Chains A and B, each alone.
Chain A
């Protein structure tokens, strides 16, 4: 296992379309996080899973956003009816003890 993997790396979509991103964490890590990073800003927390349970969601996660982690393995983040303001880098991270490991992110551009 070489680390946290995210797919796709880049996604361009038209406003109003739905998009889904996938994150494969480090296999023995039971904690998984999604963050959003816009240009010139630090990552902002979106949601957190411990195994398959979604334990915390940010106010940033509107009802157009949904995340799942079936069977406590990979996770998906879906954005419905995308808006231009959704354009950002979406980062996934996984953690077992003290250190969080990040994926390379999915860059979403909504046109």
Chain B
């Protein structure tokens, strides 16, 4: 079974600075997807960024980028120029690349990010 580990329960960063959230995972599969989701207080979870395991290039979405190290099974999220609206719980998630019967997302326990004005 796949597992996802987020070792930082809480992180804080000064507004406009850069912060990196850590995630490691365990799998025996070679085809899979990794995700970072953001869950603001009392609001729904939204996708921040996605990485396909077969792609060597790290994904980027505006101020958000990942450092995907497949051999180390590491998938960290870097947020540049942090903004107050980035404050939220961030979840790392894994999904198998084998479609049938393995559709679910497996989540880590989350990292609560606080932005200091």
Mark A residues whose CB is within 8 Å of B.
3-4, 31, 33, 35, 40-45, 48, 50, 55-56, 58, 91, 93, 95, 98-105
- Choose, from B44-52, B66-74, B77-85, the stretch at the interface: B44-52
Interface residues of B (CB under 8 A from A): 4, 6, 33, 37, 42-47, 50, 91, 93, 100-101, 103-110
Q: A35 — which chain B residues lie within 8 A by C-beta?
A: 105
With A103-B44, A105-B44 in contact, is A43–B103 under 8 Å at CB? no
B101 and A56 contacting across the interface, CB-CB below 8 Å? yes
CB-CB < 8 A to A40: which residues of B? Answer: 109-110
Query: In the complex the two chains form, what is the Cα distance from A44 to B104 in whole Å?
Result: 9
Residue in chain A with minimal CB distance to B106: A45
The number of residue pairs between A and B whose CB atoms lie closer than 8 Å in the complex comes to: 57
Q: Which residue of A lies closest to B101 (CB)?
A: A56
Whether the pair A42, B91 counts as a contact (CB closer than 8 A) is: yes
Residues of A within 8 A of B101 (CB): 55-56
A93 neighbours in B (Cβ, 8 Å): 45, 105
Contact for B104 among A33, A102, A103, CB less than 8 A: A33
B103 contacts which chain A residues (CB < 8 A)?
A: 31, 33, 48, 50, 55-56, 95
Are B47 and A42 neighbours in the complex by a CB distance under 8 Å? no
Question: In this complex, what residue of A is CB-closest to B100?
Answer: A55
For B33, give the chain A residue with the smallest CB separation: A98
A105–B40 Cα gap in the complex (Å)? 13
Give the shortest distance, in Å, between B64 (CB) and chain A (any CB). Answer: 15
The distance from the CB of B108 to the nearest CB of chain A, in whole angstroms, is: 5
Interface hub of A41, A50, A95, A100 (most chain B Cβ within 10 A): A100
Q: A102-B44, A102-B46 are in contact. Are A41 and B109 (CB under 8 A)?
A: yes
Residue among B37, B107, B108 with the highest chain A CB neighbour number at 10 A: B107
Q: What residues of chain A lie closer than 8 Å to B46, measured between beta carbons?
A: 102
Q: Which residue of A lies closest to B6 (CB)?
A: A42
